[in-house]
Amino acid sequence: MSAAIQLDRPADNASMRLRVEGRIANHDSEFEGAIEINTETGLIEHVGPRTGKSDLDLDRQIIFPGFGDLHIHAREDASQLHAYQEDFATVSAAALHGGVTHVADMPNNPRAPVDDATYAEKEKLTAKSAVHVTLYAGIGPETNPLQRHVPYKAFMGPSVGDLFFASQEQLEEVIAKYRGKNVSFHCEDPGILQESKSAATHEQRRPASAEITATGFALTLIERYGLIGKLCHYSTKDGLELIAAAKARGVRVTAEAAPHHLFFDDSMLTDENRLWLQMNPPLRGREDRLALIAALRDGVVDYLATDHAPHTLEEKRKGRSGVPHLDTYGAFATWLMAEHGFSVKDIARVCAYNPGKFVKEFLPEKFGYGFGMIAPGYVGSLTILNPDAPFTVRREEMKTKCGWSPFEGFTLPGRVTYTVLEGKVYPTD
Ligand SMILES: [Zn+2]
């Protein structure tokens, strides 16, 4: 990652502005215009018609509000036990490379953030990251809500880490203490995972029924305890119908989809790629994949969230679940546009507006109206894409510390050209 570009203006200019002009895409509008960002506050001050004076040459490119990834594993905590895989500095470099301007980090660390003290301790480490990090607090069998207002994550069954429940009853007992809170669920039913554990393949050991059953239960908990719920890395077609029905009856639930479940399905697995494409929940069938793409495009699923899970090459060879994605986030968005009919407004909605809305209530005040819109008062972070500049994914170009990508060798149709972070420009080519 190169350092931020220095603007060619006198340094004594007290109120520096970054001017960016071109084709602008919000979730509800698309227009030719000019954006002025105050580089001291980092906020957008003015959006208006083009003037012909831009600090960046953005011919044939699209300017989006800064993308946000609501599901990453940065791996760093006070124990530093997993920092060999990733840390807040390297995850930030990978995010900027992929056009991601803020992230939300999951709590399944060795020293999990489960109370005010452990949460504050982990939060200090996020200062190494240039992109803003929102931290989830973990919910486990022994935990209680924090004093602070934070988002929470509950792992229903065993995945990677120790924060999980053995039964639905045990989970409900704990969730009852979190009434009205913002809780994200990893939906895989522990009982079904247990029954399936001697099946032949990873995909069969974590069947679709585990997600569908857990979804039904998560939706019940969300309704019963008035939660603001989110279902993580969604993967099954039949479960999508449960989400759509819940939304239709007014349940406060949103859902994420991850690039691997949108791009790969189990018909593409071979002896060579099987270990690299292992994650929880696993790849599903082609029909599930196509239904998920349609659900993200049509609004049943709300966020493109990666579940960025940096494991080393050696760990992957031994069968560890999870794949890294931050470096390729923006390029992947161009694939959704080119191959699956996502409009630029759809991309602005699932990559910027909805993630911005999710984190808004947890942001420090300096972020004004927060992330997700190109409008005065919002954070001056932008993701600039060239949708017609093919990007071949190469291991050596990845900024994630784990140093690989499940898209290696694939060519995505477009790329990120610049990531603007609170008025600072980071070229990514
Ligand atoms: Zn995850």
Question: How many angstroms separate the alpha carbon of residue 99 from the centre of ligand 1?
Answer: 20
Secondary structure class of 49 (helix, strand, coil): coil
Question: How many angstroms separate the alpha carbon of residue 196 from the centre of ligand 1?
Answer: 21
pTM score, whole prediction: 0.96
Measured CA distances, 108 to 163, 401, 415 (Å): 6, 18, 31
Question: What type of residue sits at position 195?
Answer: E
Question: How many angstroms separate the alpha carbon of residue 308 from the centre of ligand 1?
Answer: 7
pLDDT given at position 168: 85
CA 163 from centroid of its chain's CA atoms: 20
Q: Which two tokens stand for residue 225?
A: 């305890």
Question: How many angstroms separate the alpha carbon of residue 70 from the centre of ligand 1?
Answer: 10
Question: How many angstroms separate the alpha carbon of residue 325 from the centre of ligand 1?
Answer: 12
Element (H, E) at 247: helix 237-248
Answer whether 243's CB lies under 8 Å from 298's CB.
Answer: no
CA 324 from centroid of its chain's CA atoms: 11
pLDDT given at position 10: 47
Per the DSSP assignment, residues forming a β-bridge with 185 are 154, 231
Q: How many CB atoms lie within 10 A of CB 142?
A: 8
Distance CA 171, CA 181 (A): 15
pLDDT given at position 8: 58
Question: How many angstroms separate the alpha carbon of residue 326 from the centre of ligand 1?
Answer: 13
Q: Which two tokens stand for residue 177?
A: 């203490």
Question: What type of residue sits at position 94?
Answer: A
Question: How many angstroms separate the alpha carbon of residue 10 from the centre of ligand 1?
Answer: 45
* DSSP per position, 384-401: EEETTS-EE--GGG--ST
For the chain, give the number of residues. 429
Distance CA 273, CA 287 (A): 20
The residue among 61, 84, 92, 64 whose CA lies nearest residue 326 is 92
Q: Which residues of the chain have pLDDT under 50?
A: 1, 10-11
Measured CA distances, 265 to 196, 262, 286 (Å): 20, 8, 5
Distance CA 281, CA 233 (A): 8
Q: How many CB atoms lie within 10 A of CB 230?
A: 27
Question: How many angstroms separate the alpha carbon of residue 225 from the centre of ligand 1?
Answer: 24
Q: Give the end-to-end CA distance of the chain in Å, rounded to a whole number.
A: 9
Q: Mind listing the pLDDT tens digit for each residue in 106-125?
A: 999 999 999 999 999 999 99
pLDDT given at position 84: 95
Mean pLDDT of the chain: 94
Question: How many angstroms separate the alpha carbon of residue 400 from the centre of ligand 1?
Answer: 16
Question: How many angstroms separate the alpha carbon of residue 281 from the centre of ligand 1?
Answer: 9
Distance CA 364, CA 132 (A): 10
Question: How many angstroms separate the alpha carbon of residue 40 from the centre of ligand 1?
Answer: 34
pLDDT given at position 1: 46
Secondary structure class of 31 (helix, strand, coil): strand
Answer whether 388's CB lies under 8 Å from 60's CB.
Answer: yes
Question: How many angstroms separate the alpha carbon of residue 307 from the centre of ligand 1?
Answer: 5
Distance CA 154, CA 222 (A): 12
Answer whether 103's CB lies under 8 Å from 324's CB.
Answer: no
Question: How many angstroms separate the alpha carbon of residue 144 from the centre of ligand 1?
Answer: 21
Question: How many angstroms separate the alpha carbon of residue 39 from the centre of ligand 1?
Answer: 34
pLDDT given at position 182: 98
